[in-house]
Amino acid sequence: MPLVTTTEMFKKAYEGGYAIGAFNVNNMEIVQAITEAADELKSPIILQCSSGARKYAKHAYLVHLVKAALEETNIPIALHLDHGADFEICKQCIDGGFTSVMIDGSSLSYEDNIAVSKKVAEYAHERGVVVEAELGTLAGVEDDVKVEHGSESYTQPDQVEDFVNRTGVDSLAIAIGTSHGAYKFKPGQKPQLRFDILEEVTRRLPGFPIVLHGASSVLPKYVDIINANGGKLDDAIGIPEDMLRQAAKSAVCKINIDSDLRLGLTAGIREHMAAHPEHFDPRQYLTDARAYVKEVVAHKITTVLGSEGKA
């Protein structure tokens, strides 16, 4: 099956009350783990690459790894640019085989965000590629941008219609309390999402696909394995899975997960190396690491996303 855009995926997800997992990929083992889990569960999937991933693995390697996954599986896969910082990087990915790009103008002024998102949408649409934009800012770290907790800002629902109408984008990432990374809430702070904002956005944009970034749950199993094997991840707190499940049943059609994959991978490596300190063949510890990433993805599909059997 060739790469697909997210148009059909989102339409079915919106109508069916589930969401598509958008998983960040950085190397072969991660691509294999995600796509094998999705293939076994017959789930559509989005593989997304950040600027950091393109710097680390190189654009061509990532595209070809994803193409290999298409040959090995039989599910709809979209290839998406995560957090495109400007028109140029979006153009590179549109021209370079991606089927979807995010233009992240969320740190710009409202008018500048509109201008760059509109420019990307026009360029992308002429080439059959879809576009995600963002309104509001999340706390946490993504590539070189760090937003301190307390400096994030929720999406203002009274801006969303104007923004979507003037830019022509195909989906919108909103800020309702999720954040990037493994430390989403302060110790003792009650995890909370602003479902009232999500409802108001949905009322103003009926039928329009909404995206949640920063949606890892920081699964305790993998944090515990890491900490039991020499790691130090105290106070890591993610988004409760029941809240994500609730979001997936609503207008949220795309849920972004990276940190949980990183935790699974690191847990596998640490556990393997602690049990076998004499090993130095990467195939040995990466086999265990890949298995944990696959387990994380299967868990997300069945427990959070509800996309099992929707391929």
As annotated, the active-site residues are 82
- Of the candidates 54, 118, 180, 310, which one interacts with ligand 13P according to CB under 6 A? 180
The H-or-E segment that residue 110 falls in is helix 110-125
Residue 218 is classified by DSSP as -
Assess 76 for contact with ligand 13P (CB under 6 A): no
143 binds, among Zn ion, ligand 13P, ligand G3H, none (CB under 5 to 8 A by kind): ligand G3H
Assess 83 for contact with ligand G3H (CB under 6 A): yes
Site string for ligand G3H, 226-265 (x = CB under 6 A): --------------------------------x-------
Question: Segment 178-197, which members bind ligand G3H (CB under 6 A)?
Answer: 180
Is residue 47 within 8 A of residue 15, CB to CB? The reply is: no
Q: Which of 54, 25, 248, 253 is nearest to 35 (CA)?
A: 25
- Of the candidates 33, 53, 116, 124, which one interacts with ligand G3H according to CB under 6 A? 53
Q: Of 49-57, 96-104, 150-158, 291-299, which segment contacts ligand G3H by CB under 6 A?
A: 49-57
Nearest CB to ligand G3H, comparing residues 73 and 106: 106
Assess 181 for contact with ligand 13P (CB under 6 A): yes
Nearest CB to ligand G3H, comparing residues 83 and 118: 83
Is residue 105 within 8 A of residue 123, CB to CB? The reply is: no
Residues contacting residue 31 through CB under 8 Å, at least 6 positions apart: 25, 47, 65, 66, 68, 69
Instruction: Annotate 231-279 with DSSP letters as a single string.
Output: ---TT-B---HHHHHHHHTTTEEEEEE-HHHHHHHHHHHHHHHHH-TT-
- Of the candidates 213, 272, 299, 310, which one interacts with ligand 13P according to CB under 6 A? 213
- What's the count of helices (H) and strands (E) in the chain, helices before strands? 12, 10
Q: Of 95-103, 143-151, 210-218, 284-292, which segment contacts Zn ion by CB under 5 A?
A: 210-218
- Of the candidates 40, 86, 143, 152, which one interacts with ligand G3H according to CB under 6 A? 143
Q: How far apart, in Å, are the Cα atoms of 222 and each of 170, 227, 229?
A: 35, 9, 11
Question: Can you tell me the distance from the alpha carbon of 289 to that of 298, in angstroms, rounded to the nearest whole number?
Answer: 14
Assess 256 for contact with ligand 13P (CB under 6 A): yes
Assess 99 for contact with ligand G3H (CB under 6 A): no
The H-or-E segment that residue 197 falls in is helix 195-204
- Of the candidates 36, 82, 170, 295, which one interacts with ligand 13P according to CB under 6 A? 82
**Other CB atoms within 10 Å distance of the CB of residue 166:** 14
254 binds, among ligand G3H, ligand 13P, Zn ion, none (CB under 5 to 8 A by kind): none
For residues 111, 113, 116 and 121, what is the CA-based torsion angle, rounded to 10 degrees? -110
Q: Could you list the residues that contact ligand 13P (CB under 6 A)?
A: 24, 82-83, 180-181, 213-216, 256-260
Q: Could you list the residues that contact ligand G3H (CB under 6 A)?
A: 24, 50, 52-53, 82-83, 142-143, 180, 258
